[in-house]
């Protein structure tokens, strides 16, 4: 393989410092900025391009701009809308990584004669003697680990991915490297929002979609007792307590969203707990024996802690049974599996819980 690497650059400090680190490691770095969102404020997109170009000029590396708005709409935005129509809570970052950052970007790398792609994600790629292949592992610092969002990367691509920040644990270190190399973006704030939704207001975004149908209905207890009305089930997610607009003798939480009957079902907090879920749309980065039970550690959301679990294979789906009950297992979100050493085994989309 050659030493040419295509680096995704958002104009932020993480991807900019990644360029510095890659150059120091002897790679021939090609920078690129992807234009993804029609809904993103134009000034933000323009600034991202300007900042990335400045860094590339400073480091004397090529910079390309890829307009992937249509592809992003197809693979990320439209599925996001459809999942909410199905009363699920989707995870667009997982889809973006799978189809765009480690899908289309990989194709662009090949077109530019690059054997590697790189991003500013906090995760680790290394060779595993146990599995006899390159594996994706959790980052050193648990709080910064982003491996949860990367389970959709296919096994074959792990050989061609570099995470330059994989051994760093503090953002202050990254910003210091940027300062030492004279980068203007050293103190630039990190983006915390879903990139295609302004002000992180997903309900407003969905209401503005012409194809999105909103239907009012009832908020009920599991007994069927009606407690109030909802303005559309898309506004609710499992575990939600605030903004229900109902009164009761004790706190109530959304425990289920019933699409067929257009109902939001609420209950006591203990009703949120379950130790079984079913998952589909699976991707395995490690070869697993699907005829047997698989012991692992699993997490049901980004900020959740992993919990001991057993995977049971049912055709193209899995049943996951946790040792300890999990709170607010949410259809549409991802369940991700790790071994005891933090190697990412695979993951999938949560279909339902029990």
Rounded mean pLDDT, 64-85: 95
| Token pair belonging to 281 | 């749309």
Q: Are residues 294 and 343 in the same domain?
A: yes
pLDDT at 40: 56
Residue 326 lies in a domain: yes
* Domain enclosing residue 303, as ranges: 273-353
**Interhelix angle 13-24/171-180, nearest 10 degrees:** 70
Residues known to be catalytic: 96, 195
Residue 152 lies in a domain: no
Residue 347 lies in a domain: yes
Q: Which residues, other chains included, contact 52 with Cβ-Cβ below 8 Å and sequence gap of 6+? A: 9, 10, 11, 15, 16, 31, 33, 63
Q: Is the pLDDT of residue 331 over 90?
A: yes
Q: Are residues 47 and 87 in the same domain?
A: yes
Give me the helices (H) in the chain, please: 13-24, 42-59, 69-72, 78-85, 92-96, 105-111, 171-180, 202-207
Q: Is the pLDDT of residue 107 over 60?
A: yes
Q: Are residues 227 and 341 in the same domain?
A: no
Please choose, from the candidates 81, 44, 76, 234, the residue with its C-alpha nearest in 3D space to the C-alpha of residue 149: 76
Please choose, from the candidates 141, 99, 92, the residue with its C-alpha nearest in 3D space to the C-alpha of residue 121: 141
Residue where a domain terminates, one of 199, 224, 249: 199
Residue 288 lies in a domain: yes
Residue 132 lies in a domain: no
Question: What CATH number does residue 278 fall under?
Answer: 2.40.30.10
Residue 82: phi, psi to the nearest 5? -65, -35
pLDDT, tens only, 140-199: 888 889 999 999 999 999 999 999 999 998 889 999 999 999 998 888 887 766 788 887
Question: What CATH number does residue 258 fall under?
Answer: 2.30.30.280
Distance CA 255, CA 31 (A): 45
Distances (CA, A) of 235 to 139, 232, 254: 33, 6, 11
Residue where a domain terminates, one of 228, 247, 267: 267
Q: How many CB atoms are located within 10 Å of the residue 303 CB? A: 7
Domain count, the chain: 3
> Global pTM?
0.94
pLDDT, tens only, 260-283: 999 999 999 999 999 999 999 999
pLDDT, tens only, 6-64: 999 999 999 999 999 999 999 999 999 999 986 555 566 788 899 999 999 999 999 99
Q: Which residues, other chains included, contact 37 with Cβ-Cβ below 8 Å and sequence gap of 6+? A: 45, 69, 72, 77, 195, 196
* Burial of residue 32, with CB atoms counted within 10 A of its CB: 0-12 exposed, 13-18 middle, 19 or more buried: buried
Residue with tokens 């002000």: 199
Q: What is the number of residues in the chain? A: 354
Name the band, by pLDDT with cuts 50, 70 and 90, for residue 253.
very high
């Amino acid at each position: 393989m050659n030493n040419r690497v295509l680096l995704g650059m958002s104009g932020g400090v993480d991807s900019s410092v990644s360029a510095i680190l890659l150059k120091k490691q002897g790679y021939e770095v090609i920078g690129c900025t992807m234009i993804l969102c029609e809904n993103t404020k134009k000034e933000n997109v323009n600034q991202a391009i300007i900042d990335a170009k400045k860094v590339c000029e400073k480091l004397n590396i090529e910079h390309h701009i890829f307009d992937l708005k249509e592809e992003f709409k197809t693979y990320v935005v439209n599925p996001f809308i459809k999942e909410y129509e199905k009363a699920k809570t989707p995870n667009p970052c997982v889809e973006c990584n799978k189809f765009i950052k480690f899908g289309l970007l990989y194709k662009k790398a090949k077109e530019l004669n690059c054997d590697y792609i790189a991003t500013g994600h906090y995760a680790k790629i290394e060779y595993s003697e146990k599995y006899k292949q390159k594996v994706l592992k959790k980052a050193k610092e648990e709080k910064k680990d982003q491996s949860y969002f990367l389970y959709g990367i296919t096994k074959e691509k792990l050989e061609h991915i570099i995470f330059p920040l994989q051994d760093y644990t503090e953002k202050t270190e990254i910003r210091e490297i940027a300062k030492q190399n004279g980068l203007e973006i050293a103190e630039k704030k990190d983006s915390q929002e879903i990139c295609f939704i302004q002000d992180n207001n997903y309900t407003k975004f969905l209401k503005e979609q012409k194809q999105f149908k909103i239907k009012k209905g009832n908020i009920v207890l599991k007994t069927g007792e009606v407690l109030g009305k909802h303005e559309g089930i898309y506004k609710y997610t499992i575990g939600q307590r605030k903004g229900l607009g109902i009164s009761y003798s004790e706190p109530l939480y959304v425990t289920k969203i019933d699409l067929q009957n257009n109902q939001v079902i609420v209950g006591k907090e203990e009703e949120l707990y379950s130790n079984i879920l079913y998952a589909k749309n699976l991707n395995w980065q490690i070869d697993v024996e699907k005829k047997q039970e698989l012991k692992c550690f699993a997490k049901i959301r980004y900020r959740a802690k992993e919990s001991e679990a057993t995977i049971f294979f049912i055709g193209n789906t899995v049943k996951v049974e946790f040792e300890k009950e999990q709170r607010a297992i949410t259809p549409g979100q991802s369940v991700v599996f790790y071994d005891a050493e933090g190697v990412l085994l695979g993951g999938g989309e949560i279909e339902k819980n029990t």
